[in-house]
Amino acid sequence: MSKAKILTKGFFKENPSLILVLGMCPTLAVTTSVNNALGMGAATTFVLLMSNMIISALKNIIPDKVRIPCFIVIIATFVSMIDLIIQGFLPALSESLGVFIPLIVVNCIVLGRAEAFASKNTVFDSLLDGLGMGIGFTISLVLVAAVREILGAGSFMGMQFIPSHYNILLFVLAPGAFIVLGFVMAAVRQIVNKVEAKRKAKAVCAK
Amino acid sequence: MEYILMIIGAVLVNNIILVQFLGICPFLGVSSKVNTAAGMGVAVIFVMALATLVTSALQKYVLVPLNITFLQTIVFILVIASLVQMVEIMLKKLSPSLYKALGVYLPLITTNCAVLGIAIKVTEQPLIAAHGFSVIDSTIYAVAIAIGFTLAIVIFAGLREQMELVDVPKGMKGVPIALITAGILAMAFMGFQNLV
């Protein structure tokens, strides 16, 4: 696989939350505003990058039988670091993301990439993979958050452009999260399938 | 009375899945049949009660006195993961019939963010203001939350069983339509909002 492909496959084709259905809890919980989504995406990307790098560097030292506990300790270390950093420098973000920052530990995306990719590939490839998956996760968070924030609060990244009189409150509440994610997921899957089908047809013609 | 209010609040008003968004993975993953959903629910009640008991005792008697609460995330996840493993081994030896019923769900629970989420949440603020941080209160709260989890996953599995028969547009098949169904279920649970 080429380096560019390792990086970009996480964006849409193997998007962790919209296609592989991993890490649903933060996708639903923190997408009330685009700012929260960006913060969560950045924190998860940091953890993915660092844990992928360390795990791929240590892959020959970690015994196979206890690899999952080892991965969890490595991941938990970086999650604690980013948790303290956000608490220290961005207290408002820490307040609105709440328990979901420590919960990056049990985000299936991070452990999934450690198990499926970082434990088998070189350090540089794992870094690219972590970055790509992190960006893909951020893209899906921002997509869902943009729809919810525009419909529910009439604003984008905190800038109000629809008077609050016309807002549909349901979309920032719990049911809106499920419904918007369902529609966004259906739309992205449909588009990815169409693009893939076209690419395949082209490849057949070229032969 | 305080306990009754706390339990109603945990089961219906702050339902862990439909209001707090924790434990969505098993909610979507093992909800295609009512029987398996109920099995998962029972396993979660069991593990969550045990895990919260141990983690809140650790928080109260080890982490806070030694002033090392910043290690909370690492300590809790390790305790929960090893606890689940231990429960699995013990069940296998002590009660093979129970192991047969719950065994397949146990490894899945380690990655269930509901267990870690509640273990962290109960340490943030006292559940009943007059008691302060109490291990017993936390455990009761965790059981109530897990009952709420079971309630939501069983209802949802019932809905999904019916949906198998419905003709859904192609792009919506599978997870997207399940999420929209969950959204409507969450709307129903919003009706409980001012109960407590």
Mind listing the pLDDT tens digit for each residue in A126-162?
999 999 999 999 999 999 999 999 988 888 887 888 8
Chain A residue with minimum CA distance to B172? A186
Given this model, what pLDDT does residue B110 score? 67
B23, pLDDT greater than 80: yes
Q: Residue A10 has what DSSP assignment?
A: T
Mind listing the pLDDT tens digit for each residue in B9-20?
888 888 888 888
Tell me, yes or no, if B116 comes closer than 8 A to chain A by beta carbon.
yes
Cα A186 to Cα A188: distance, rounded to the nearest angstrom: 6
| Angle, CA A47 vertex, CA B63 and CA A172 arms, to 5° | 90
Report chain A residues touching chain B, CB-CB < 8 A: 21-22, 24-25, 28-29, 68-69, 72-73, 76-77, 79-80, 83-84, 99, 102-103, 105-108, 111, 170, 173-179, 181-183, 185-187, 189-190, 193
Q: Which amino acid is at B67?
A: N
Phi (first) and psi of residue B169, to 5 degrees: -55, 150
- Cα of A3 to nearest chain B Cα, Å: 30
- Cα of A186 to nearest chain B Cα, Å: 5
End-to-end CA distance of chain A: 21
- Cα of B176 to nearest chain A Cα, Å: 4
A with B: how many residue pairs have Cβ under 8 Å apart?
115
Choose, out of A25, A107, A189, A191, the residue to mutate when testing the contact with B (most B CBs < 10 Å): A25
Tell me, yes or no, if B155 comes closer than 8 A to chain A by beta carbon.
no
Point out the least confidently predicted range of A25-29, A141-145, A176-180, B131-135: B131-135
Q: By three-state DSSP, how is residue A155 classified?
A: strand
Rounded to the nearest integer, the mean pLDDT of chain A is 88
CB count, 10 Å around CB of B137?
Answer: 19
Mind listing the pLDDT tens digit for each residue in B136-163?
889 999 999 999 999 999 999 999 888 8
Q: Is the dihedral angle over the CA atoms A173, A178, A183, A189 positive or is it negative? A: positive
Mind listing the pLDDT tens digit for each residue in A12-60?
888 888 888 888 888 888 888 899 999 999 999 999 999 999 999 998 8
Mind listing the pLDDT tens digit for each residue in B113-128?
888 888 888 888 777 7
Which of chain A's residues have a Cβ under 8 Å away from the Cβ of B180?
178-179, 182-183
The residue assigned the tokens 């009761």 is B140
Q: What is the mean pLDDT of residues B69-90?
A: 86
Break chain A into its structural domains and give their ranges: 3-206
Surface-to-core class of residue B67, CB atoms within 10 Å of its CB (0-12 exposed, 13-18 middle, 19+ buried):
exposed
CB count, 10 Å around CB of B173?
Answer: 13
CA A105 → CA A43, A195, B51, B106, distances in Å? 11, 34, 16, 18
Rounded to the nearest integer, the mean pLDDT of chain B is 85
B38, pLDDT greater than 70: yes
Interface contact B24-A189, CB threshold 8 A: no
Interface contact B176-A178, CB threshold 8 A: no
Q: Which amino acid is at B74?
A: I
Q: Rg (Cα) of chain B, in Å, rounded?
A: 18
Interface contact B179-A84, CB threshold 8 A: no
Tell me, yes or no, if B71 comes closer than 8 A to chain A by beta carbon.
yes
Chain A residue with minimum CA distance to B187? A175
Q: Is the dihedral angle over the CA atoms A91, A97, A100, A104 positive or is it negative? A: negative
Buried b (16+ CB within 10 A) or exposed e, A191-203: ebeeeeeeeeeee
Kindly state the tokens that stand for A64: 């196979």
SS (H, E, C) chain B: CHHHHHHHHHHHHCCCCCCCCCCHHHHHHCCCCHHHHHHHHHHHHHHHHHHHHHHHHHHHHHHHHHCCHHHHHHHHHHHHHHHHHHHHHHHHHHCHHHHHHHHHHHHHHHCCHHHHHHHHHHHHCCCCHHHCCCHHHHHHHHHHHHHHHHHHHHHHHHHHHHHCCCCCCHHHCCHHHHHHHHHHHHHHHHCCCCCC
Q: How confident is the model at residue A169 (pLDDT cuts 50, 70, 90)?
A: confident
Tell me, yes or no, if B136 comes closer than 8 A to chain A by beta carbon.
no
Given this model, what pLDDT does residue A15 score? 86
Given this model, what pLDDT does residue B96 score? 81
According to DSSP, the β-strands at A155-156 and A159-160 are: antiparallel
Q: What ipTM describes this predicted complex? A: 0.85
Given this model, what pLDDT does residue A86 score? 92
Mind listing the pLDDT tens digit for each residue in A97-118?
888 888 888 888 888 888 888 8
Given this model, what pLDDT does residue B148 score? 93
Choose, out of B78, B173, B175, the residue to mutate when testing the contact with A (most A CBs < 10 Å): B175
Interface contact B71-A80, CB threshold 8 A: yes
Q: Residue A117 has what DSSP assignment?
A: I
Choose, out of B20, B27, B180, the residue to mutate when testing the contact with A (most A CBs < 10 Å): B180
CB count, 10 Å around CB of B39?
Answer: 18
Q: Give A126's strand partners.
A: none
Q: By three-state DSSP, how is residue A9 classified?
A: coil
**Angle between helical axes of B113-124 and B135-163 (0-180°, round to 10):** 140
Residues across chain B: 196
The residue assigned the tokens 């709420």 is B148
Given this model, what pLDDT does residue A156 score? 84
